[in-house]
Amino acid sequence: MSGGPAPSRPAEAGPDPGAAAVAERPVGRVRGTRDWLPDDFARLAEIERQLLDQFGRAGYRPVRTPILEFAELHERKSGAGIVAKLFEVGGGETTEVCLRPELTASLVRAYAEAEEPPPLPFRVSMSGPAFRFQPTGPGRDREFTQVGVELIGAGGAAADAEVIWLADWSLRSIGFGDATIRVGHVGLILELLGRSGLPPAAVSALVESLSAAAAEGQNVRAIEAALERLSGWLGATGDGGAPGQAGGAAGPAAGVERLFRQLVPNVTGRRSGEEIIHRLTRKWTLGHTLADVLGRVREQVHALAALKGPAGEVLERLERDHARHAPDSVAALRDLMEALGHHGVDPGRVELDMGFGRGIGFYTQMIFELVVPTPGGPREVCGGGRYDGLATVLGSPRDARGAGFAFGLERLLEVREARGESRPHRNGDARGYLVSAASGPASDARRAASNLAAAIDLATFLRERINVPIVLSELSFPAAVAQARALGLGQVVTVGPAIEVWNLEQGDVRSVREGELIEQMRARLAVFRGDRP
């Protein structure tokens, strides 16, 4: 090793008794977060910009909402799966505050609270960090970035198709043209349960159990399992007879009471448990026992959960086997597929999955996700759906219809890299300039200072006149060239007795004056952009 160590580098011999104390141990990152250094962050920001630009082309204007929200905002409708993952924040607030776990509820709150009602339909885009206290792993950070849109005040197949099309169109704009569009319909299960004759309390409890299960990656079979457990529980209590039959002396009222006590053990509100049970009993008009109804619903859910495949085939089976149980939802899916066709979406890329249960409890009808193939298997990169009623739940009298989606920005970058499509970011794509003071003799400090001052003057002069990256450097010429290449800059300008421009692409050098340099920069920029003289 030649020469002594750099002044900032500690001596490699034994510790100096007069030196400062050893540095503290590193603090480290919070689990579930990550750092984004310039090159990686540039790739992430590029995807974000492309998506927001694409949203803007469809008329979705950007908005921003706070990262801090009252926890109640998400507790009202986000479902058990999200609420359990809230990061609550301490401080002087008397009401619980949290870091937002997603963007939609904040946007709907902002829409509901706006002094002047926005003109409908209200098309907006959002981008920003979200936080969930969840197990960490590949694609599961606790801090992540969502980029998406919301369409407020519009309903029906046309609005649903617009949201799905925009997600797919935007994904294709960043190079993912082979995504599968997986579409489900929460309304099918909700309508099936609503028409089953089960007491509303039972329906609500079953939907909540499915919401929690779906948040953990399960599908609508979670309801099938819950129904099976309830049927077994009812059998164990001896509730099996019709009114007046042995073994069911108390008739269906006893079954209603047992079911209610099982599903809703703690009663709050104006009515007592006995009053609620009495109301449920009066509404229980089916000529069948609870066990019969639960068994029938379980069979319907089982058949529905197995329906998955090409859109045309699944629609045909829905029409044949399930339209009588959920006519409105089946018709809505048929209209949605027709509307997607008008948007130019290839039906061959649409998969209908009736066992798909993401976000149930938050979403009310159509749900979808975009799935892209990778060497490690398919990866979901975008999800969304229709959440009618959210504004009402938040206490607003305004139009409560809404639909939207969000991309996971970090996941998009991970998938691009997994597919080998991530390309090194170039700052300006060889358009930029690195301005460096020409190094003179090491002993000539006055000349070095003069050259540096001139380089600063030139860099300032150019930045005011040319819209390309101008980076100032004090490095020696070989190091400045290496730095320019690392930053993706195509020119190195050295300032000394003369101004010299080194073209790193062509390997030539020329001496110029300041005015000539500006004209050359403009000419080069015009060529790069494809402008005509």
Consecutive H or E run containing 482? helix 477-487
The answer to whether the Cα torsion of 308, 312, 313, 314 is positive or negative is: positive
Residues sharing a CB contact under 8 Å with residue 488, sequence separation 6 or more, in sequence order: 424, 425, 426, 427, 428, 429, 430, 432
358 annotated ligand-binding residue = yes
- 349 labelled ligand-binding: no
Q: Residue 343: phi, psi to the nearest 5?
A: -80, 0
Give the residue carrying structure tokens 């009471």. 257
Indicate the residue type of 333.
L
Tell me if residue 385 falls in helix, strand or coil.
strand
Does residue 121 have a cis peptide bond before it, meaning omega lies within 30 degrees of 0? yes
- Whole-number Å distance between alpha carbons of 306 and 308: 6
Best CA proximity match to 513, nearest among 531, 532, 497? 497
Spatial distance between the Cα atoms of 83 and 98, rounded to a whole number of angstroms: 10
Cα(170)–Cα(455) distance, rounded to whole angstroms? 43
494 annotated as belonging to a binding site for a ligand: no
- Integer Cα distance of 477 and 283 in angstroms: 87
CB 252 within 8 A of CB 245: no
Nearest-angstrom CA–CA distance, 459 and 470: 6
Q: How many CB atoms lie within 10 A of CB 16?
A: 9
Question: How far is the C-alpha of 133 from the C-alpha of 354, rounded, in Å?
Answer: 29
Length of the chain: 533
Alpha helix segments (H runs only) across 4-79:
38-57, 71-75
Query: Does the annotation place 452 within a ligand binding site?
Result: no
Identify any residues that bridge with 87 across adjacent strands, giving them in sequence order: 99
Which DSSP helix (H) or strand (E) runs through 437? Answer: strand 433-437
Q: Answer yes or no: is 102 a known binding residue.
A: yes
List phi, psi (to 5°) of 372.
-115, 145
Phi, psi (rounded to 5 degrees) for 405: -155, 165
Query: In this structure, what DSSP letter does residue 119 have?
Result: P
The two tokens of residue 304 are 């529905």
Q: Three-state SS string across 222-248, please?
A: HHHHHHHHHHHHHHHHCCCCCCCCCCC
Q: Which residues does the annotation place in the binding site? A: 102-104, 132, 146, 150, 358
Q: Which residues does the annotation place in the binding site for L-histidine? A: 102-104, 132, 146, 150, 358
